[in-house]
């Protein structure tokens, strides 16, 4: 089969489509003929050699895909050849075919096309597990998310509304602020125009936010703690602003807050399967009903993976960037 590979780590120009061995499903796995793959920031780090592939997973880029099941492992009874699915991957989405544990596979909601479905697994599983399971966000509480226009941000706005929580996002442009407002965010702060932490405190009458979903890390650590309410939870899923943070532990204790480091990719399949099950139970009905929808910035042919990476690096996108790999099943 063909897959997007790199002869060595480097810039987007290192990505090339080459012939590799076909995946062979383990007894608990299925093989998916990929229709589309989602592009994630973690892919950029992996391309640069700063986030090595998970042991045992396909070594190629790609943490989510949609497609059609083409092989089923001996112990799998949940899926059949021909099923249209989306999947949360540990790697290998930028390829014609990928093997994935059956527990990480989701059905395609009838409200979205098979291609669009590739925009859902990573952001929905990431946002749900971090806001609800780790962050314990509840109805009536407030969540703040950095990068409101990102794939994560656009989904967090929608899932906060689904939970009945109030949402605040930070954005780097008026265009993104407008898009977040369109999606129903309660407060969108342009961090280039004002001190976002002060604005967040102001919009909560000085109380602070209950949950803060952060992709920045060190650069925002102090301001994140400042923006949290007493008893608040800071969930860190990315370190775009650096790794070594200065932690004011006095504030940590006085406010009785918690800081959670979280990554999805490295979790074992059993944990990913639990997250997938929760998402199918709690989020998929809202996707079916159209109240939660994939926000897709653009779809590029997978031969343009380098350009897709550049879009994310520039932060040009609002919502997800997808790579179309194959052609959707004729009956859709």
The residues of the shown chain that bind a copy of itself, judged by CB under 8 A, are 134, 217-218, 221, 236-237, 239, 242-263, 266-267
Q: Which of 146, 137, 32, 157 is nearest to 89 (CA)?
A: 32
> What is the DSSP secondary-structure string of 106-121?
EEPPTTS-TTGGGGSH
> What is the DSSP secondary-structure string of 57-93?
S-SSS-SEEEEEEEEE-TT--S--TT-EEEEE-SS--
CA angle 280, 127, 143 (to 5 degrees): 125
Instruction: Decide if 33 contacts 67 (C-beta within 8 A).
Output: yes
- The Cα–Cα gap between 300 and 302 comes to 6
Total Cβ atoms within 10 A of residue 119: 29
Q: Hey, what's the torsion of the CAs at 55, 275, 302, 153, to 10 degrees?
A: -120
């Amino acid at each position: 089969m063909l897959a997007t590979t790199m002869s060595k780590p480097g810039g987007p120009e290192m990505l090339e489509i080459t012939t590799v061995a076909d995946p062979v499903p383990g007894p608990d796995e299925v093989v998916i003929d990929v229709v589309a793959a989602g592009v994630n920031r973690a892919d950029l780090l992996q391309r640069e050699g700063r986030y090595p592939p998970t042991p045992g997973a396909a070594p190629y880029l790609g943490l989510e895909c949609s497609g059609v099941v083409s092989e089923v492992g001996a112990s799998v009874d949940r899926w059949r050849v021909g099923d249209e699915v989306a999947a949360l991957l540990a790697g290998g989405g930028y390829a014609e075919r990928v093997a994935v544990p059956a527990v990480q596979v989701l059905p395609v909601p009838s409200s979205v096309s098979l291609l669009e479905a590739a925009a859902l697994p990573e952001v929905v599983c990431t946002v749900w597990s971090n806001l609800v399971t780790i962050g314990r966000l509840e109805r009536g509480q407030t969540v703040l998310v950095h990068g409101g226009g990102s794939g994560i941000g656009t989904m967090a706005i929608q899932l906060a509304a689904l939970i009945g929580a109030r949402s605040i996002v930070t954005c780097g442009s008026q265009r993104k602020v407008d898009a977040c407002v369109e999606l129903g965010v309660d407060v969108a702060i342009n961090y280039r125009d004002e001190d976002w932490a002060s604005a967040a405190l102001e919009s909560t009458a000085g109380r602070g936010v209950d949950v803060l979903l952060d992709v920045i890390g060190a650069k925002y650590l102090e301001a994140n703690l400042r923006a949290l309410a007493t008893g608040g939870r800071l969930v860190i899923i990315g370190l775009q602003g650096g790794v070594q943070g200065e932690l004011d532990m006095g504030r940590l204790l006085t406010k009785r807050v918690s800081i959670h480091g979280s990554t999805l990719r490295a979790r074992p399949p059993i944990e990913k399967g639990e997250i997938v099950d929760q998402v199918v139970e709690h989020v998929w009905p809202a996707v079916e009903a159209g109240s939660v929808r994939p926000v897709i910035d653009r779809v590029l042919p997978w031969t343009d993976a380098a350009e897709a990476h550049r879009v994310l690096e520039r932060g040009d996108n609002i919502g997800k960037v997808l790579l179309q790999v194959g052609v959707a099943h004729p009956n859709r």
